[in-house]
Structure 1
Amino acid sequence: MTALMLPQLFDIVPDALLLVDAEGRIIRANGNAERLFGHGNDGLVGLSVEALMPADARERHLQHRLGYMSSPRVRPMGQSDQVLVGQKADGQQFPVEIALSPIETAHGRHYLASVRDISESQRVRQALVRASYDAFIARLGQMALDAGSEQQLVRSLPGMLIDELQADAVALAFPESDGHAIDVRVAGQINGEALCHILSSRWALLEASLPVDRATILDDRQLELLAEAGEGFACGAATLLRDRDHPTGILMVLSTDTRPIQHDILHLIQGVAVLVAAIMQRRRTAEQLAHAQRLDALGQLTGGIAHDFNNLLTIISGSLQLLDDEYAPHQGARDLIAGALHSVARGASLTSKLLAFARRQPLAPQSVKLHQLVHDLGTMLQRILGESFSLTIECHRGLPPAHVDPCQLETALVNVVLNARDALPGNGEILLSVGEQWVRPQEMEELQAGHYIVIRITDRGMGMSASTARRAVEPFFTTKSMGQGSGLGLSMVYGFTRQSRGMLHIDTVHGRGTTVSMYLPVATSLPERVLPPRHRVEGARQTILVVEDDPGVRRIAVSFLQAAGYVTLEACDAVEALAIAKMHPETALVFSDVMLGGAMNGHALASTLREQLPGLAVLLTTGHDDAPDVSPDLGHCGTLLRKPYRREDLLVAIQQLIA
């Protein structure tokens, strides 16, 4: 371009034109330039060209200008990869594109700059980029819905992000519960094994350096941490994947390009991280729900089996007790009967554990101060554990009482402590600590908000794998060898804590140990004073109505009562029992099963009979019942006898009720 063309050019070109001398001073500007930069007539003449840009960019531009003037050339618009910013007289900034051309004049070499405001076109480009990113997120979401598992998405995501962002490397890393990375998915120019090694030793450092709520550009120190995994990463961005109140992973995007990472890219990275975290959380929630439903189904199944099994045990036990009387003179026969009765007792213990898992065992919760309970139990446990194992108890006296069944709590603690012993390699220390915790609303999915006592049993033994931990509370699941365990210990503890309105939590790392935590509600009243047992009273012969839908169990009960001198009446259901009672007003006591089938159970039958026969004593029996031990309508004349029962227990209960 020549100087002769300048006057016509300045008048007709729609862009802002600036003529600059070798010192960088503006010697001429057209009207478009004065309007663009907000200066009046000839207000630009004499200014340094750096005065038309932000202060923090002036020194950098000066160096670029000097380099250009040392080797001038025609440079059209759109060839610079830099984001150029102009500044008006009032300080307002706006994006620009600039074309440069050297011009030879009679006064030496000058430089013509054509400046164009690209605010609108930049907004269009930005909108297109954001639309592309939005489409990427939508595609990712649809892929998540279509995928069989989130692992398919996790495997594909790094490669998809590389294609979308034109990055050099993308990595997804997920830590173990103890902070060691165990799963790293990468794509691009990065060594996955090296990155896994880096994160295994520096996870906490990298995690602590990242903001909790947004994607951020990695600084030089963070890039240096990752240097061993890839060559020449000049910039990068990362964000945490979060699950409620704790990180579950890190998403990183790395590049060898020195260009700064734009805000829209950070926004995309954060959006992807939120989506992936939500998908993983949904999967965990679905797994927890399926696990809870499986345990509930197992609970219903085992509860039903326990009920039927207790009926069978009642028949077997009753028959053996009757045989014991008949063969009293025969010592050999009595020894065999005693062994069989011992096996019945073991079967009853098994059904008790099944009912505990099913959350249908009878509980007698009360206000219990745990300091004395755990120390007394600890003395007994230390004898069981032996000299090779030490049991340390931490429980201060100032803790509030727990609302719990003390007998079942002791059984649960014994089960967990013995499991901890079995996990240790021949010797070691077990810690039993008791504390308190306030649980906030929605802090724990399985617990209502409130005040809880937390009992923790910790060992540094073998720990459990993730698959084993998921099944640890299922009945009959055990990793012990044949004959070493029934697989019902933790099942019973799980059912007991849930039935007590608490929770069982297992925190374990394979090869490092396990902590089993029992959450139990704090009592709202002080511990009750223990009353002495009632004095046993001998009763006279009376008429007793036996109501039982199982003929075998009914025959055993009738045999026990007739042998003791009682007059018995029999009914197989509530309808027959009501009819018989109406014909026999002399009936002194009704002995009924709770589960009778039909529309009326034992509680309802007893209430109806009491209306017909005021003063009628009621004794209920069951092998499976989650109802209260005594119906509120029955008052002091109703009680509950658990199957399988011994003859002595039945007769004592009857004597106490009809005396």
Structure 2
Amino acid sequence: MTKTDPIGGLMTTTGASGTWNWDIVTDSLRIDTHFAELYGLGSQAASEDLPTRSFFQAIHPDDRARIRIAVAGILAGAELFSKEFRVVTPDGTTLWMHGRGQSHLDANDEPIRFTGLLVDVTERKRTEEHLRIAQTAGGIGTFEYIDGYATATVSRQFCRLLGLHPANVLPAQTINSVLQLDGPSLIPGPREGCIPDSLDAEFRIVRKDDGALRWIARRGEVIREGAGYRLIGVIYDVTQAKEQEAALRDLNDTLESRVEEEVAIRQQAEEALRQAQKMEAVGQLTGGIAHDFNNLLMAIMSSMTLLRKRVPADPALYRLIDNALQGAHRGAALTQRMLAFARRQDLTSERIGVDALIEGMRDLVERTLGPAWSLDLSFQTNLPQIVADTNQLEMALLNLAVNARDAMPGGGIIRITTEYRRVAEGDIAGLAAGAYVGLSVIDTGEGMGPETLKRATEPFFTTKGVGKGTGLGLSMIHGLAKQLNGIFTLASAVGKGTTATLWLPVAGGDVRGAVSVAPKPELPSHAQRLKILAVDDDSLILMNTAALLEDLGHEVLEGNSGEEALDLLRDNPDIDILITDLAMPNMTGIELADHATDIRADLPIILASGYGDVPTGAQQRIIRLGKPFGQAILAQAIREAMGRIKSQ
């Protein structure tokens, strides 16, 4: 089919077409030879699986974002695609294409293929533009220039568009004197010295009369006449269209930017989820290892305690046993850090005055730091108490002080400050609204960069040298804060030091005062002989627990499982106390306690575990006993259990 061009007598024909088949699942593209020719890819491309970027690489840069958004809609589930856009062939020619396509869905309504037809509509677009020009003839200026002449024949509208004085004939030099910000000369030829290939161009001008900045489009024909040529064309104002095009381009850029932002947010969320899953896995592994290690340490500590009582009074032997006990206690402290990171250590709930606790630790901290570092304590007056575990909080404070010291190898001042703050929702990231006491340890040392700061609380991450840190200190403090319904924050910059802060919720009520410290357990000078049922699935732990109890003067029955313990309990109604492990197969310590109270409602029960996640609904008669425990702690738990029975 042919159409007559209303301007200049140009002819146009229906363009060629090609097809594409985009496999969404494998992200590959198949095209036919016509598509390959339209895109300038070469006929061999039609026999290959192409990367899907081939669909976009030839699209004009000004149209590419718009088409990417439309294709993204198809890949997200939209059904139809119908867009016109420009492509640039390898030789630099710009062609107009009309792409029409649709998505194909699988049984789950998920897109699996994107197929369509690409049609060359270049000539139609030109014809449409000429028609638009003809329909707005009032805004068109015409010109004619013959090669070799110094003047051009122009219309009055031509002059008005350029801001020139109306005339029928103007010197080519006058026309070209209109300031152009880009593009070729208005009347090509006199300056170029060669026959132009095309008159089609768009450029900005500064009008001669009022200095207005306008966009002008030029269209026409180059007619060759022997050795010379003649130019016949039109100009018209396309400022409004250009402004709309710019607005659309800005909109496309905004949409593309939003798409990129959404992709980035999704990637960040996925990365955060992966990190959370990784940390959860590390926490589970750490907690399990620490629990098993606790059992081993308990066997060592209890055996060494009993051995020290029974060996001859030899200072050399005592020194070896004490060294073994000291090593076991250090191992127990390490397991507490591991369990704190996993948020599974057994915490003792005590009302603590933070300022009194710090003052009580001053000598210990100063001796630990050494003479090159001085301690500056600054407390807010009349601080409310918090509920925490004294030993764990002391360990956390000492750890932070040592970290501050290591950040200032040449010495310096370490500040420890406290403050009371009512926190609103969102004031401190990750902290719920409420009343908190903040405990900060501040140094002026090396500081940390963003990447180091981001990883500082990861387990086993350390910037210290080999053998100088386990990488569990800050992760332990982080776990401790979370378990106490608080938060641990770090603020640092390279060369400006670090501020480490523990935010812990205040105790219920408005009680203000000194630290409440539980008395240290002591072995009884004499005690009532009791009949005690000890239960643990680990025979090594059971044997050592029984030995500690017998050394205290008690009669001990041993059970390796919950079922065996219940049988012993039914056969021995005179049992005074049940001591059971928490984590046992088939029947846990909590389940054993439930069944035991069905048999003996008044039976005191001691539950031994290295974990801190014992169910809160356990009976009031249950006494918690943290592993690993020594003989003094065990004796204290027995006294407390019997004391509760007497008080009821």
- Structure with the largest fraction of helix: 1
Q: Which runs of 5+ in 2 are unaligned?
A: 1-134, 142-154, 177-185, 188-199, 219-233, 644-648
From 624, 644, 649, the equivalent of 2:611 is 624
Q: Please give the per-residue CA displacement for 1:535-575, whole angstroms capped at 9, x wherever unaligned.
A: 97954323211111101111112222234332222211111
State which of 282, 285, 289 in structure 2 corresponds to 1:298: 282
Deviation at 1:392, TM superposition (A): 3.1
Find the partner of 1:603 among 563, 585, 590: 590
Matched, 1:503 2:487: yes
Residues 1:428 and 1:618: Cα distance change in structure 2 (over 3 Å): same
RMSD: 4.5
Select the residue among 548, 552, 555 that pairs with 1:564.
Answer: 552
Which residue number in structure 1 is paired with residue 7 of structure 2?
none
Give the distance between the partners of 1:528 and 1:64, measured in 2 at CA: 94
Q: Give the CA deviation at 1:350.
A: 1.5
**Cα distance between partner residues in 2 of 1:617 and 1:654:** 9
Query: Which AA in structure 1 matches 2:304?
Result: L
Q: C-alpha separation between the residues in 2 aligned to 1:583 and 1:556?
A: 24
- CA-to-aligned-CA distance 1:84-125 (integer Å, 9 cap, x gap): 8x99xxxxx9989699xxxxxxxxxxxxxx996758xx45x6
Match of 2:321 among 328, 337, 354: 337
- The answer on whether the counterparts of 1:367 and 1:525 sit within 8 Å (CA) in structure 2 is no
Matches within 5 A, 1:168-207: none
- Give the C-alpha shift of residue 357 in structure 1: 1.4
Distance 1:532 1:419 in 2: 28
Distance 2:428 2:323 in 1: 48
CA distance in 1, matches of 2:386, 2:270: 32
Q: Does 2:533 match 1:548?
A: no
Asked whether the 8 Å contact 1:432–1:456 carries over to 2, the reply is yes
Residue 440 of structure 1: how far off its partner (Å)? 5.4
Structure 1: segments with no counterpart, 5+ residues: 1-11, 19-28, 34-48, 54-59, 88-92, 100-113, 130-261
Say if 2:580 and 2:606, in contact at 8 Å, map to a contact too.
Answer: yes
Helix, strand or coil for the counterpart of 1:495? helix
Q: Against the structure 1 CA distance between its residues 326 and 375, is the aligned structure 2 distance closer, same or farther, given a 3 Å change threshold?
A: closer
Matched letter for residue 568 of structure 1: V
Aligned mates of 2:403, 2:582 — CA distance in 1: 36
Aligned partner of 2:221 in structure 1 is: none
CA distance in structure 2 between the aligned counterparts of 1:13 and 1:626, rounded to whole angstroms: 81
CA contact (8 A) 1:361 1:624 kept: yes
1:208-255 deviation line (CA, Å, top 9, x unaligned):
xxxxxxxxxxxxxxxxxxxxxxxxxxxxxxxxxxxxxxxxxxxxxxxx
Q: For 1:98-497, list aligned pairs within 5 A.
A: 122-123=240-241, 129=245, 267=251, 274=258, 278-366=262-350, 368-378=352-362, 380-397=364-381, 401-435=385-419, 441=425, 446-497=430-481
Across the two proteins, how many residue pairs are aligned to each other? 456
Cα shift at 1:649: 2.8
CA distance in 2, matches of 1:63, 1:605: 107
- Conserved in 2, the CA contact under 8 Å of 1:367 and 1:528? no
Contact 1:96 1:115 in 2 (8 A): no
Question: Does structure 2 retain, via aligned residues, the 8 Å contact 1:404–1:500?
Answer: yes
- Partner residue, 1:166: none
Deviation digits for residues 618-637 of structure 1 (CA, Å, limit 9, x no counterpart): 11211233226xx65432x3
Letter in 2 for 1:622: S
What corresponds to 2:601 in structure 1? 614
Change (3 A) 1:377 1:539: closer
Partner residue of 1:156?
none
Amino acid at match of 1:521: P
Q: Paired residue for 1:584? A: 572
- Report the AA paired with residue 588 of structure 2: N
Q: Identity across aligned pairs (percent)?
A: 31
SS in 1 for 2:511: coil
Residues in 1 aligned to 2:453 and 2:299: alpha-carbon distance in whole angstroms = 39
Q: Report the secondary structure of 2:309's partner residue.
A: helix
Contact 2:486 2:505 in 1 (8 A): yes
Partner Cα separation in structure 2 for residue 652 and residue 550 of structure 1: 23
- Structure 1, residues 488-532: CA drift from partner, whole Å, max 9, x if none? 221211111121222223333344432323332344423388598
Contact in 1 for aligned 2:386/2:507 (Cα 8 Å): yes
* 1:587 partner SS: coil
